[in-house]
C-alpha cells in the first residue's frame, strides 16, 4: 500500500513525530511504500540542521536524515511554513538577503502542491500531530 504522511507538530511539543517515524519504519519493513513525508505547520522544526539535542536524548534530525538516506524517503518541508519560522535553504536565504543554509540532510523545501500530489498518488493519507 502507498502512504502519504503529514507531520504537523514540532519535535518537543509532543511525540507525534516519533509515532510517525515508527509507523514509517514498520510500514517499510512490511514492504509498503512511503510516497512522501510532508512537514507542515510546526512540523517544519524537524528540518533544522543545527538542532543539537544532548547525547542521551533521541536526535530527531539524525533519525530523519538517516531514514531519507537508507530508504530514499522524500522528506519535504513546506516553503511558506518554513520561511515564517526562519528555516531557509541557501538559495532562498540569498534571495532574501540572508545567510546560511538551515536545512538538514535528506530534507528538501517545496510548495504545497507536493502535498496534494502525494495524497493523489497514495492509497492512504495519515496526519500526525
Partner 1 sequence: MKNYLFVLRKPAHSGAYLQEMLDIMLITAAFDQSVSILWLDDAVFQLKNHQQPEVSGMKDTAAMLQSLSLYDVTELYIETESLQQRGLNTDNLCLPVQTLPRQEIGEFMRGFDVVFAG
Catalytic positions, written as ranges: 78
Does position 81 interact with partner 1 (CB under 8 A)? The reply is yes
Q: Give percent helix, percent strand, percent coil of the chain, each to the nearest 5.
A: 40, 20, 35
Q: Show the cell assigned to 16.
A: 507525534
Each residue 38-77 as x (binds partner 1 by CB under 8 A) or -, in order, gives --xx------------------------------------
Residue 128 region by backbone torsions, left for phi larger than 0, else alpha for psi between -120 and 50, else beta: beta
Q: Which stretch binds partner 1 (CB under 8 A): 11-19, 55-63, 91-99, 108-116?
A: 108-116
Does position 14 interact with partner 1 (CB under 8 A)? The reply is no
The helix/strand/coil state of 37 is strand
Between residues 65 and 114, which has the closer beta carbon with respect to partner 1? 114
Sheet containing 75-78, strands listed edge to edge, beginning at the edge strand earlier in sequence? 107-110, 75-78, 33-39, 2-7, 124-128
Contacts with partner 1 by CB under 8 A lie at 40-41, 78, 80-81, 84, 111-113, 115-117, 119-120, 125, 127
Amino acid at each position: 500500500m502507498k502512504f502519504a504522511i503529514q507531520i504537523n507538530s514540532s519535535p518537543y511539543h509532543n511525540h507525534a513525530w516519533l509515532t510517525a517515524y515508527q509507523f514509517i519504519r514498520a510500514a517499510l519493513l512490511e514492504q509498503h511504500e512511503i510516497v512522501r513525508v510532508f512537514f507542515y505547520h510546526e512540523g517544519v522544526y524537524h528540518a533544522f540542521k543545527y538542532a543539537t539535542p544532548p547525547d542521551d536524548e533521541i536526535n530527531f534530525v539524525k533519525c530523519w536524515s538517516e531514514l531519507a538516506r537508507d530508504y530514499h524517503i522524500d522528506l519535504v518541508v513546506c516553503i511558506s511554513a518554513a520561511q515564517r519560522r526562519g528555516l531557509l535553504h541557501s538559495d532562498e536565504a540569498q534571495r532574501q538577503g540572508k545567510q546560511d543554509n538551515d536545512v538538514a540532510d535528506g530534507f528538501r523545501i517545496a510548495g504545497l502542491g507536493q502535498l496534494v500530489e502525494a495524497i493523489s498518488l497514495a492509497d492512504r493519507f495519515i496526519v500526525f500531530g
